[in-house]
Amino acid sequence: MKNGRRSNSIGGVAMLLGASMIWGVSFAAQSAGMEYVGPFTFTVVRSLIAALGLGICALAFDRLGLSPKGGDRKRLWRGGILLGVILFAGTNLQQIGIQYTSVGKAGFITSLYILFVPAFGLLIGRRAHPMLWVCVLLASVGLYFLSIQGDFSIGKGDLLVLGCALVYAVHILVIDHYAPFVDVVRLNCIQFAVTGLLSIGPMALYEEPSAGAILQAWLPLLYAGLLAGCCSYTMQVFAQRSVEPTTASLLLSPEAMFSALAGWMLLGQTLSSRELLGCAFVFIAVVCSQLPWRRIFGGRAADGAPALRPEEANAPEA
């Protein structure tokens, strides 16, 4: 590692930890915003804000000469639209689910997508290290303590957020297919725009949005759109230039912990001792799933299970 790259990694570590905190707090912002607007309305506004912000970033990167040259524009639009459709499903499942569960639980259950990615990867011929299945077992135990009640039933909100985690896993695998060939900032801009536009239909059918209610929710919407959807993504892009991917994944994994802390500090939500035990199992499973087991036991690195947020997972590797 060259000296310049090593010195830059300090800033990269700080940016990744900052992004992790912003994304964790965004669960609280999503919950707070729905005191004024419905879940589909929230998704529409935050997604279009994020698309606008990323569009501005793309133009700024063009002016500064930071945008990649060339690229397949047809593939960019095809991938952006497909990813937008998938993100539409995942985002709204999470947004609706948060109405029926705590933000802390939602954060930890959502983080399970990191484990679902390599599991789904088996379907397309990607082998995972055996230690990953130990992590899956730990996560399953954690999910039991977090969500399964005494009569072996699972809460509606927990089930919806679990569905979100499954969709996000598919989303990351699709991103992995398109990202190497396109401008990732523009790809995210398109997918957020598609997510917002698709959410207009169910918003009109099931909700009665008003300008007044949206203005009342301006702070959570701006936070979720600009900070969580745009700024954190940009921070992560630059950080990945000086921090290698496995380390980046580990630095992003505290997102679930930050979501629980935000729910407690900002919304007064608490977790029972049983739920805290479940959080501990999930957190350990998520962190362990990102350790370079093939390097630890010898052999080449794992076959690639990206552990980044769905909308963030397509950043260039260091």
List Cβ neighbours of 284 (8 Å cut-off, separation of 6 or more): 138, 142
Q: CA torsion sign, 6 to 7 to 12 to 14?
A: positive
Mean pLDDT of 294-318: 52
- Alpha-carbon distance of 129 to 131, in angstroms, equals 5
List Cβ neighbours of 206 (8 Å cut-off, separation of 6 or more): 38, 40
Distances, alpha carbon 148 to alpha carbons 107, 128, 142, 191, in Å: 16, 28, 10, 34
Beta bridge partners of 184: none
List Cβ neighbours of 3 (8 Å cut-off, separation of 6 or more): none
268-277 long-range CB contacts below 8 Å, 24 or more apart?
269/102, 269/103, 269/104, 271/102, 271/104, 271/105, 274/145, 275/104, 275/105, 275/145, 275/146, 277/142, 277/145
pLDDT level of residue 114 (50, 70, 90 thresholds) = confident
Please give the single-letter amino acid code of residue 125. G
pLDDT level of residue 6 (50, 70, 90 thresholds) = very low
pLDDT level of residue 271 (50, 70, 90 thresholds) = confident
pLDDT at 101 over 70: yes
pLDDT at 302 over 50: no
* pLDDT (0 to 100) of residue 9: 65
* pLDDT (0 to 100) of residue 173: 84
Percent of the chain with pLDDT over 90: 36
Q: Which two tokens stand for residue 122?
A: 């088996």
Mean pLDDT over each residue of the chain, to the nearest integer: 82
Residue reference for tokens 């990167």: 61
Cβ-in-10-Å burial (0-12, 13-18, 19+) of 315 comes to buried
pLDDT in tens, 194-240: 999 999 999 999 999 999 999 999 999 999 999 998 888 778 766 76
Percent of the chain with pLDDT over 70: 83
Of residues 63 and 135, the one with the higher pLDDT is 63
Neighbours of 23 (CB within 10 A): 27
pLDDT at 53 over 50: yes
Q: CA torsion sign, 195 to 41 to 26 to 163?
A: negative
* pLDDT (0 to 100) of residue 166: 93
Of residues 116 and 124, the one with the higher pLDDT is 116
